[in-house]
Amino acid sequence: MDPQYARLVKAAALSATVLASILLIIKIFAWWHTGSVSLLAALVDSLVDLAASLTNLFVVRYSLQPADEEHTFGHGKAESLAALAQSMFISGSALFLFLTGFQHLASPEPLQGLGVGIWVTLIALFSTLILVTFQRWVVRKTHSQAIRADMLHYQSDVMMNGAILIALALSWYGFHRADALFALGIGVYILYSALRMGYEAVQALLDRALPDAERQEIIDIVMSWPGVIGAHDLRTRQSGPTRFIQLHLEMEDMLPLMQAHILAEQVERALLHRFPGADVLIHQDPCSVVPKERHAHWEL
């Protein structure tokens, strides 16, 4: 496991947990002071954030453990499970917002202490923006699915806090139903984010192949290597930070076994140079045993 990967992923997960804890306390005070259903929505979302981030923190620590006798491919899929759990948490909070929003839409009430609510929402907005910026940088460096799911989660929080600001401003000018309407809109967006996150997690658990662009890079590297006549049966997947790459390499029939081994190792090193930390498995085939229809056959 890359030490930098472990350090960055842990830092991102811990940062999210700390921020969610602080914002939860602040929003409890703001909701108690104003009675705003939009702020109640934000409070519930922060509670879900905290539960999800704590889950993420523990699961990320588990996923970083090295492979063992019982888990020979490592523990990377724990990240996908964390993302799936987060999608369930978020879906629950969205349903709560729908119920509360419809209730307050039917019987709107004037809000109190709007100034406090606006200041708290501004604090939440800017602090969450900072967290999302940091998480995006970590995802760019690590491609961690758990942190990507957390980032999508907090991106929805940025949208939500912006909507709450508008709702509180409209309520200030007497449009009391704005609070409930924006709460419903926030619920729709959060539910959409949860479904998208859950879909991505399930696809990872089902061993979806690497993106087309990455598979094309693998093909280009293999086919450009001197001594390689062709290749076929490319299989790829990703578990946590680790990419798994398997393929059959086609070589000259009379190539000595040692030279075939050296050639396969050279191709493997080239792939590892492009995809550090990948698990590469190459099978060597003499050209004559490969049917013509499978020669240099790639499925993207």
| Identity of the amino acid at 45 | D
Six-digit token string for 91: 């879906």
- Cβ–Cβ contacts within 10 Å for residue 85, how many? 19
| 285 among annotated binding-site residues | no
Residue 72, classified by CB atoms within 10 Å of its CB into exposed (0-12), middle (13-18) or buried (19+), is exposed
CA–CA dist 300, 236 (Å, integer): 10
Q: Cβ distance 30 to 116 under 8 Å?
A: yes
Neighbouring CB atoms inside 10 A of 7's CB total: 13
Q: How far apart are CA 198 and CA 247, in angstroms?
A: 30
Whole-Å CA distances, 272 to 53, 72, 220, 245, 277: 32, 19, 14, 10, 7
State yes or no: 49 annotated in a binding site: yes
**248 three-class SS:** strand
Query: What CA–CA distances, in Å, run from 145 to 65, 199, 244, 285?
Result: 16, 12, 15, 35
DSSP 246: E
Distance CA 54, CA 171 (A): 34
How far, in whole angstroms, is CA 205 from its chain's centroid? 13
As annotated, the binding site includes: 45, 49, 153, 157
As annotated, the binding site for Zn(2+) includes: 45, 49, 153, 157
